[in-house]
Chains A and B, each alone.
Chain A
Amino acid sequence: DAKTTQPNSMESNEEEPVHLPCNHSTISGTDYIHWYRQLPSQGPEYVIHGLTSNVNNRMASLAIAEDRKSSTLILHRATLRDAAVYYCILRDGNAGNMLTFGGGTRLMVKP
């Protein structure tokens, strides 16, 4: 399985943008890039996913490098409620729908 590398933790100030990086240098052409987040004491929550092009939704934006070896999840204005562990996951489009979670990035948001 293609692996992802994320920083263990990041800090942000409230109401400022946050850029969460993810490296996936061994990504294959059929791998989708998924982001989930897990708030304290809750189950993971889907955030966004993409294949090649940048994606936007109501929660976040996903910027994918041209060579697809890295991606960045962008929270446009961090709130205290965005404090969570963010997981960057590669899903093989040809191998079913399994998700392999790594350690993720713990985002701390300061008021």
Chain B
Amino acid sequence: NAGVTQTPKFRILKIGQSMTLQCTQDMNHNYMYWYRQDPGMGLKLIYYSVGAGITDKGEVPNGYNVSRSTTEDFPLRLELAAPSQTSVYFCASSIARGGVSNEQYFGPGTRLTVT
């Protein structure tokens, strides 16, 4: 299994541009998550999904959108990039049995700079 893969690894955007960060997992996990990590800080949850067709906001959802049309894919969209969105973005997945998930698996991250 490749686990959780993310593309691209790095990206530089100009203010106002848009882009989609891709995330794919091949473990048949039902839960998927997007986090951002600013320098020297812990991770903050942006959006999450408990299954295909279901998404919900996390702690810092403003400026982002997500969709979950398949179990495997959970793309994160930035519509109007702002310098405050400069960060490292991590996608994660987990399997929940009876609504309980004990371990999240993280991807390698996408480093995004907005100038």
Contact = CB atoms under 8 A, between A and B. Distances in A.
Contact of A98 (B4, B48, B106): B48
B103 A102 contact: no
B90 A43 contact: yes
Given A43-B90, A49-B102, A103 B107 contact: no
Contacts of A49: 102-103
Nearest to A47: B103
Contacts of A43: 4, 90, 92, 106-109
- Central interface residue in A32, A44, A49, by most chain B CB within 10 Å: A44
- Central interface residue in A98, A100, A103, A104, by most chain B CB within 10 Å: A98
B74 interface: no
Given A43-B108, A45-B106, A46-B104, A98 B45 contact: yes
A17 B108 CA distance: 28
B100 A97 contact: yes
Name the prevailing secondary structure of the A interface residues: loop
Contact of B103 (A46, A93, A100, A103): A46
B60 to A, nearest CB: 12
Nearest to B95: A97
How many chain A residues sit at the interface, stated as a range, is: 20 to 34
A98 B58 CA distance: 9
Interface in B19-48: 31, 33, 35, 41-45, 48
Contacts of B59: 100
A16 to B, nearest CB: 27
B4 to A, nearest CB: 8
B101 interface: yes
A84 B4 CA distance: 20
